[in-house]
Amino acid sequence: MASFIQLLVSGLATGAIYALIAVGFTLLWQTSQTINFAQGEFVMLPAFFILAAMNLGAPFWLATLIGLLLSIVVLGLLFKLIIVDPMLRYGVLPLVISTIALSLFLKEAAKDFYSSQAQPFPALVPATDLNVFGAVISLQSLAVLAIAVATVLALHFLLNKTRLGRCMQATAQNPTLARILGIPVERMVLYTFLINGVLVAIASILISPIYLAKFTNGETLGIAAFLAAIIGGFNQVRGAILGGVILGILDNLSAAYLSSQYRGAFPLIILIAVILLRPQGLLGRVEERTV
């Protein structure tokens, strides 16, 4: 039982990070039909921004701030202006190809211009363990969970309780109607890209102390984000959150209790089952234009 709680907490922590990545992924899909195959690399990169800033002598808090800003500008603004905007008119597939190429580009750039070795990354909290009813729970897992939950709650508040958020939702649901109602659709789409920049930066800060900063980190993270988004529902923020949490817990529990060799297979089997039985995802709405 104690080990079950341990696994559950670390699963929740991983799942919360997956959820952050998946939420950003679904936001881009909802507002601009961008399937970002480079989302995993987007999470890998901010850690390197921060490390580079620290190498230049910045303290960790300043470096984090710089990393966050760079992430918003490069992975949010520039990604939209340079990659997405010129290609929206061609439809979904060319953009998919382009983001696949972008993921290759970012991975190689991190390897060639920083390092091919895994880099240690400073943790937010000291690596101590707490003893709760016999279960050993790392303070790091709890901190990760707390920050991720806070981020998701903040996003939820922004999207549902503010005027800006409602405008963004309107843009996602029906751009034409939103434009008629006087919502600056282009600006709302841009905001979702910026929010994605923030989300991937936070995910990067949370995950890099655990996995170390390495140029190949994006491969697994990107796939985890797709899986979470599809399992939960491509067109719902709360679907992506649910998907991420399911994935994180499943990953930890299946490795411990079923088969560690095939831990990677369980999420895929769920994915295939979800797509075949409920293509809109567990919490998704049916979208006529896509299926």
CB of 261 to another protein, least distance (A): 4
For residues 107 and 205, which CB has a smaller minimum distance to another protein in the complex? Answer: 107
For residues 149 and 275, which CB has a smaller minimum distance to another protein in the complex? Answer: 275
CB of 246 to another protein, least distance (A): 15
CB of 99 to another protein, least distance (A): 9
For residues 63 and 229, which CB has a smaller minimum distance to another protein in the complex? Answer: 229
Check if the beta carbon of residue 39 is closer than 8 Å to that of residue 106. no
CB of 143 to another protein, least distance (A): 31
Check if the beta carbon of residue 148 is closer than 8 Å to that of residue 17. yes
For residues 177 and 268, which CB has a smaller minimum distance to another protein in the complex? Answer: 268
Dist. CA 98–CA 83, nearest whole Å: 7
Structure tokens at 65: 């701030």
CB of 268 to another protein, least distance (A): 4
Pure H helices in the chain: 2-32, 39-55, 60-70, 92-113, 139-161, 163-173, 175-180, 185-211, 217-232, 237-257, 265-277
Angle between helices 139-161 and 237-257 (to 10 degrees): 160
Q: Whose structure tokens read 């990953």?
A: 251
Dist. CA 217–CA 115, nearest whole Å: 13
Q: Whose structure tokens read 């899986």?
A: 227
Residues lying near another protein in the complex (CB under 8 A) are found at 35, 83, 86-87, 90, 92-98, 100-102, 104-105, 108-109, 111-112, 219, 223, 226-227, 230, 261-262, 264-265, 268-269, 271-272, 275-276, 279, 290-291
Q: Which of 154, 155, 191, 198 is nearest to 46 (CA)?
A: 198
CB of 121 to another protein, least distance (A): 24
Dist. CA 19–CA 283, nearest whole Å: 14
For residues 14 and 235, which CB has a smaller minimum distance to another protein in the complex? Answer: 235
For residues 29 and 121, which CB has a smaller minimum distance to another protein in the complex? Answer: 29
